[in-house]
Amino acid sequence: MRAEAEEYLQAISHLKVAQISQWRAEHLADANEMLDRPFTRALIARWMVSPQDEDAEQILSWFRSLRKHHKFNDVLLVDAVGRTLLSLSGRRDRLDTEVVQALETALRERRSVLCDLHIGSPDQSPRLEAIAPLFSGEEKNAVPIGAVVQQIDAQQFLYPLIASWPTPSRSAETLLVRRDGDSALFLNALRHRKETALKLRIPLTEKEVPAVMAVLGREGMMDGKDYRGIDVLSALKAVPDSPWFMVAKVDEAEILAGWHLLSYIILALVLGLMTAMASTIGMAWQYYAKAHYRALLESEEALRKSEARYGATVMSIGDGVIATDAEARVELLNPVAETLTGWRQGEARGKPVTEVFRIINEHTRNSVENPVERVLREGVVAGLANHTLLVALDGKEYPIADSGAPILSKDGEITGVVLVFRDQSEERAFLNELRESEEKYRDLYDEAPVGYVELDCEGRIDRVNKKILEMLGYTAMEMLGEPLWNFVVEKKEAEQAIKATLSGKAPPNKALERTYKRRDGAAIPVVLEGKVARDSEGRINGIRTTIQDITERKKAEEELRTHEAQLSKANQIMSGILEHTHMLAALLDTQFNFVWVNRAYAAAGRHDQSFFAGKNHFDLYPHEGNKAIFRKVADTGEPLFITAKPFEYPDRPERGITYWDWSLIPVKDAAGAVTNLVFTLMEVTERVRAQEELRKARDQLESRVRDRTAELERRNRELQEFAFVASHDLNEPLRKIQVFGSLLREKGSGRLSEVENDYISRMTGAANRMQELLDALLRYSRIDTRGCDFIRVQLNKIVHEAAGDLEVAIRSVGVQVEIGSLPIINGDPFQWRQVFQNLIGNAAKYHRSEVKPFIKIYGEEGEGAYTIFVEDNGIGFDEKYLDKIFQPFQRLHGKHEYQGTGIGLAICKKIVERHGGTITAKSTLGKGSTFVITLPTRQAGF
């Protein structure tokens, strides 16, 4: 019995190691395929040098094709240091340390590599990556530029392959382990202990454990104690070209109880077929010299005897069985094989096994190598990779798992192959449903809005979800395996309560409040809900606990207590205020009966406060209109405020009409229903009378303002008429003085004395200045009356034109003019040209001879306004004269120092104000001036 068990375990370990090796080789081949795609490599290299959206989409399209056909979790493009450049998932974080190390190996050795199994973060499942390195340049001088990383989920094929067992067994399982420092690390989930993949480690000092034996280099059949401490029989084998080791084991107690009938039948079948084929070959060699037909008949007879001997066994098992000869021709099909292939045994006998047992890859739809061919070629137990379909004679497809084993003669020669396979349709459907269910509940568990913790039978944390990690600030590795009470402020109480629950002495916690410790030392209040977990025999083996952070609730409770205290205090204060205020206040029920009145209300009614209790307001003060108002407030719950409501005392007509401000405020219960009305009144008769007097005074003032405005308008017209008449009437004699002065100078040339010429010059100069004053006065008076309609004006253009008009003056003193960005406004272009001519002309006129003059004109946009600056480095002025410079005919310098009429800035001010703006100036004597024009944005066209 033990020998059979050893042979069976050896066969399973050989088969699974072969399948894992083939699976690794396929993924490396897929990665190597990348190196054989020159156009794709060129596309990626081009995109890495000059990223273009079109190239990126082509790369991602190829990545999507890879993911679809190979079921990758993600496909990434990374640079030579591991930075993610493109990915299907959109991730941009750095690669895990294990992947970066594998990337360095791939780039250094210029070959594709497989990263070892690892977990990126606690919420991710175990995975490994196939890395295809990328290089730029010629073969010998190629420079590494990055890699394509294909992320493989171990749950997709590797773990199901390891977990599967061909026959029912209570204890049998296969393990995948590797050495990790001074420990053996278990790479897959275990049958007898959950959540152990890449977490469970056993020290190398425990040499009786088969997993430790495997990583220390031992192979073959071994006795030992597994991770549970139970005696097991195990087959150990290294996985070629990897750091992994396969352990196939079964409890010795189960071996002694006898192996399952199916394993016995399969072994008997293999041995029987081997014996039968050996006998057939022997008979063939013995009668080789006889006629060919005699040899065929005898061989057929031997085959029939063999089939008769083992047919019952083969026909009774639930898996498909095909036996072939050494030429891979079919010799036997059992009923299950007939059903799955669609071939009858009589039809299939003698045909090539590849014709009867036709298999393809589920994803690529390409034919895959038949395991019989590999067994005959290599003489090893061979199996199919995952995702293999059997195509029946009628075209129907079945997902299958199979293994092929050689039939050996006494001399060890291969005489045939036995192929055992089974339909995985139901198993796949079940596994898919199970996986979807697990994913669904895992998502619910991980994404739950409350913390969740599972404890083992010792109170240690066995499982956590995202919320508890987020709540406490720890990682899963920091919490797993730790007693839960280590995270509780009330540590002793929590330890006692957990141990009491696990021992069955106390029920689990229900709505229990505790204080937990965060990793940063902060304490958070929580509420716990616990439930015991039991094994198949009903024994308590753990606790499942939900943990909800109630920090906000505690804050709300504290705020509520504070609010209630403040409200109580406020009620006391308000009661005191209402009791002693001069404002009338009353509390009514919804039928308008008095509940309480203050002293002022009682005094106004000329009664004691006790008089009003229980009496109806409208029995004392009948008024249907007011009653309707009260009813509306009580029904709608909307407060009402009325100002200056007239009221006449029915029992005191001598007071006449009085005026009152009302407020009628509903008081509501927690459900929002009105329970009472607060009625307040304040007499405002004097205020109403004062407002009436104020209204009359305002009307009188407005009348006087209208009269004054009309008077000013009349005077303004007279002033304009005067300016026109003055300029017209004075211009004529002035022109005569100018003309006759010029004639005197021309006619008397050479005959007049120097003094006489000086008199004539003074006369004509005074006449010219008078002419300028009259022209300026006329321009000033016409700003409002002779202005053009507002249009869209580009101030940049206006300023350039104004500077062009003054080109001679600007060049004569060497002024540098700098014009910045200015807005487009609504305005009079001719008046704005006049503004900038005055400002630029003044800057040129009042320059300093010791420095190169400059004028800078620019604008700035602010909140609600646009500001224009005209800045110069001229002589400047004392800002105490700021108001004076914008008044007509006001000058800060003598007319002999600087020419001018003194009205230019006054004109600027009047034009700016006509456009809704303001003008001012900032200056320092001897350093220059800055004139500042501010326009509202609505005027500046914004």
pLDDT, residue 176, reads 92
pLDDT confidence bin for 897, thresholds 50/70/90:
low
Taking the C-alpha atoms of residue 546 and residue 332, their distance in angstroms, rounded to an integer, is: 59
Q: How many CB atoms lie within 10 A of CB 517?
A: 16
Mean pLDDT score, 647-663: 80
pLDDT, mean over the chain: 81
Checking if the pLDDT of 516 tops 50, the result is yes
Q: For the residues 569-576, what does the mean pLDDT come to?
A: 64
- Residue 297 pLDDT: 44
Specify which residues 544 forms β-bridges with: 454, 531
Residue 919 has pLDDT above 90, yes or no: yes
Question: Per-residue pLDDT averaged across 280-291, rounded?
Answer: 39
pLDDT of residue 710: 81
In the chain, DSSP finds a helix count (H) and a strand count (E) of 29, 35
Among 145, 146, 129, 187, residue whose Cα is nearest residue 163: 187
- Which amino acid type is present at position 379? G
**Contact (Cβ atoms closer than 8 angstroms) between residue 334 and residue 315:** yes
Q: Which domains does the chain show, CATH number per domain?
A: 37-153 (3.30.450.20), 261-422 (3.30.450.20), 448-549 (3.30.450.20), 581-683 (3.30.450.20), 689-777 (1.10.287), 786-936 (3.30.565.10)
The string of pLDDT tens digits covering residues 624-633 is 889 999 999 9
Q: Which of 561-575, 740-754, 900-914 has the highest mean pLDDT?
A: 900-914
Structure tokens at 290: 């006889």
- The dihedrals phi and psi of 432, each to the nearest 5 degrees, come to -65, -45
pLDDT of 666 reads 93
Assess whether pLDDT exceeds 80 at residue 517. yes
CA 582 to chain centre: 60
- Residue-wise pLDDT tens digits, 455-473: 988 899 888 888 899 999 9
With tokens 């995702």, the residue in question is 387
Determine the angle formed by the axes of helices 754-781 and 685-747, rounding to 10 degrees: 150
Burial track 341-363 (b if 16+ CB lie within 10 A, e otherwise) = bbbebeebeeebbeebbbbbbee
User: Which pLDDT score is estimated for 342?
Assistant: 93
Strand partners of residue 817: 855
Helices (H), 318-418: 335-341, 345-348, 353-356, 371-378
- Which residue, among 837, 833, 831, has the nearest Cα to 784 in the 3D structure? 831
Q: What is the pLDDT of residue 893?
A: 58
Average pLDDT on 910-921 reads: 89
Residue 853 is predicted with a pLDDT of 92
Would the pLDDT of 265 be above 60? no
Residues 76-124: tens digit of each pLDDT: 999 888 888 898 887 777 788 889 999 999 998 888 999 999 887 766 7
Q: What is the mean pLDDT of residues 655-679?
A: 88
Span 668-707, pLDDT tens digits: 888 889 999 999 988 888 888 888 888 888 888 888 888 8
pLDDT tens-digit map of 231-260: 888 999 999 888 999 999 888 887 766 544
Q: Where are the alpha helices (DSSP H) in 409-490?
A: 425-446, 466-472, 476-479
Which residues 6+ apart lie within 8 Å of 719 measured at CB? 781
Angle, helices 795-805/829-845, rounded to nearest 10 degrees: 50
Angstrom distances, CA of residue 315 to CA of 158, 247, 338, 510: 32, 32, 11, 59
Q: What are the DSSP E strand ranges found in 466-557?
A: 510-517, 523-534, 540-549
Average pLDDT over residues 883-897: 67
Q: Show the tokens assigned to 771.
A: 């002419």
User: How many other β-carbons are positioned within 10 Å of the β-carbon of residue 444?
Assistant: 11
Confidence (pLDDT) at 266 = 46
**pLDDT the model gives residue 35:** 64
Contacts of 407 (CB under 8 A, 6+ apart): 270, 273, 274, 277, 323, 414, 415, 416, 417, 418
